[in-house]
Amino acid sequence: MRALITGGAGFIGSHLADGLLAAGHEVNILDDLSTGAIENVDPLIGKAGFRYWIDSVMNEPLLAELVDRADVVFHLAAAVGVQLIVDRPTHTIETNVGGTEAVLRQAAKKKKKVVIASTSEVYGKSMDLPFREDADLVLGATSRHRWAYACSKMLDEFLGLATHREKGVPVVVVRLFNTIGPRQTGRYGMVVPRFVEQALRGEPITIYGDGRQSRSFTWVGDVVRALTLLATEPRAVGEVFNVGHGAEITIAELAEEIRRLTGSTSPLIRVPYERAYGPGFEDMPRRVPDLTKIRRLIGYVPSVALPVMLQAIIDDARLRHGLEASDPALHFAAAGG
């Protein structure tokens, strides 16, 4: 398989590139490094079957060439992170919708398969749990910029599925639930790397809101496996799939667990949403996937428990900071997924 990964120098994209190359596939990545980092793919540079371009998906002449060379396009390029979304809602909408339009426009020329990475954010304020792919989606008011990301990703899904129906382009949509693992940055609001960095530095661990909001965290290796299998499964075309874990933990419990695993004495500090993100910010109280559909199609079952995920992330952070990992064998075993 010849794969193009947009956003391939990002957290998930670089792990996907690792996995595809290890399986013997050819990989091209396209990334403008706005939120990705070239360090994420440094170990791949020079390997047979791997090439990279530092540019935007909005450069359509280049995109057209790369799509033409691909058998499947994994479209991961997007504005990511709550902080970035709140600070730059216009950029979020233009990047997500415009990028997906460009990818689908080029893929339609020769009916190239496209796997679109969407998000659990599209379920919005729904309380119909666990979230099913065919459930109604409930967003907040347009005056609350926090929902711009969810709305843009919903439109990405509509565009992808409409392009499949009208133009025969094989499209698969995946809704990712809070993917975590090594290489993820807390710079744009991702909670696990932010908590880990704060704990290792002995700084206060800042919990936004009351900490009772719960999430279901997914190991990046499981996401890579799901994306790869869905890309090669003909019955996945034209469908939407949740990719997640299922086990819930509150953000306050997450902070306590990270403090325990790091051996940190950092205090836990609660910060009101208004102070973190501005007036009127709304959050999802729970976010839990129904995995029935993807399990029935490709046999997907989450493979890593949350404490193992967290320990691998902590050990990776310690190694990057020149600290001694608590259990390097565990780190490398978990990172291999």
Contact 248, 214 (CB under 8 A): yes
Cβ neighbours, 10 Å, residue 12:
25
- Of the residues 52, 149, 188, 300, only one is catalytic, namely 149
**Which of 257, 334, 261, 258 shows the shortest CA–CA distance to 303?**
334
Active-site residue, 149 included = yes
- Which ranges of the chain does DSSP label H, i.e. alpha helix? 11-22, 60-69, 82-87, 89-109, 148-167, 191-201, 220-231, 251-262, 273-277, 292-298, 306-320, 328-335
DSSP, res 305 = -
Residues 6+ apart with CB under 8 A from 115: 72, 73, 74, 75, 171, 172, 173, 174, 227, 230, 231
Q: Rounded to an integer, what distance in angstroms lies between the CA atom of residue 126 and that of residue 138?
A: 5
72 bridge partner residues: 3, 113
Q: Rounded to an integer, what distance in angstroms lies between the CA atom of residue 132 and that of residue 300?
A: 15
User: Each residue of 234-267: b (16+ CB within 10 Å) or e?
Assistant: eebbebbbbbbbeebbbbbebbbbbbebbebebe
Q: Rounded to an integer, what distance in angstroms lies between the CA atom of residue 161 and that of residue 213?
A: 31
The per-residue DSSP string of 111-146 comes to: T-EEEEEEEGGGGBT---SSBPTTS--B---TTSGG
Active-site annotation, residues: 149
